Structure 1
């Protein structure tokens, strides 16, 4: 009986110690906050997650949902296929007079895209942008994948991204 009482007291003491540790013990360090960003140096597009993440020196500055080309699965192979290209690109132009609310141009097609399309006897396409909604649409974001191969975000998000993204920023587009 004494042995059972001792075990019960030991179990209770261990339980109290565990609860105390969980409540008052040291906490893991919080991840660092992003610097007060004036620029981003990398944009990651995750096609399958429909997500854009912009970072500065690895710290997340912004996340946003995206829309893609109307046939988004796979890499862009030719003009008109409705696919958003995959790979590593660079922002090479900024267009404030776009048919969409602001646009950041991506340097697609690359030489390897041109060679692949030429071998297939097709045009690789071009004019791939990260842009807002069509001009005239101000209060809503079009649902689904609706672009011809570009990456679309809300007008508020493209305004923010536009202000943070210089020419030369790396854009990585993953499946």
Structure 2
């Protein structure tokens, strides 16, 4: 009987600790956005290869770093409308950096551009927006690299939180982003 009580106490303490960790992550307690690295180590180009599920940072043609990614839940083809689950394809840039993102940290991709907006308008629908390169949703960081098992975003490019911190430190506003099929 005593072992049962001890076991139940241990399970309860672990559960309480887990809830506390998730709550702190969700509330972004202790989160500090990394500073940009030195100019010579910043990316001057970001390439996302959707079919390879890969994001590569370049500086003057030299590869700085490569990261595996998850994409929108319906990744094949160019994003055409809000809610289609596709990750855009084409040439864009980083519009802004968000240190208080709902997904750890994020970099806003400049989708939709003029052509995207016109195509959507001609088709009679909204193009969508808020396409980001981001970490794991707050409260779920415990997933870590398991996020790669499935394309799960709404059209964004998802990476693990430690990878997002490294990307965030190397990519400034205005950096060109190419998303290839």
TM-score bin (small chain): 0.7 to 0.9
State the partner residue of 2:178.
172
Displacement, 1:37?
A: 4.7
> Is the counterpart of residue 68 in structure 1 residue 71 in structure 2?
yes
SS in 1 for 2:136: coil
Give 5+ residue unaligned stretches, structure 1.
1-35
Match of 1:91 among 90, 94, 99: 94
Q: Would you say how many aligned residue pairs link Structure 1 and Structure 2?
A: 140
Aligned-CA RMSD value: 1.2
Runs of 4+ with >2 A deviation: none
- Normalised by the length of structure 1, the TM-score is 0.78
> Is the counterpart of residue 158 in structure 1 residue 158 in structure 2?
no
Q: Distance in 1 between matches of 2:127 and 2:165?
A: 29
Q: Which has the larger radius of gyration?
A: 1
Deviation per CA, 1:96-144: give whole Å up to 9, x if none. 1111010000110001111100010000000000000011223323231
Q: Distance in 1 between matches of 2:60 and 2:135?
A: 25
SS in 1 for 2:66: strand
- Normalised by the length of structure 2, the TM-score is 0.75
> Is the counterpart of residue 106 in structure 1 residue 109 in structure 2?
yes
Give 5+ residue unaligned stretches, structure 2.
1-38
Q: Distance in 1 between matches of 2:177 and 2:62?
A: 15
Match of 1:124 among 113, 123, 127: 127
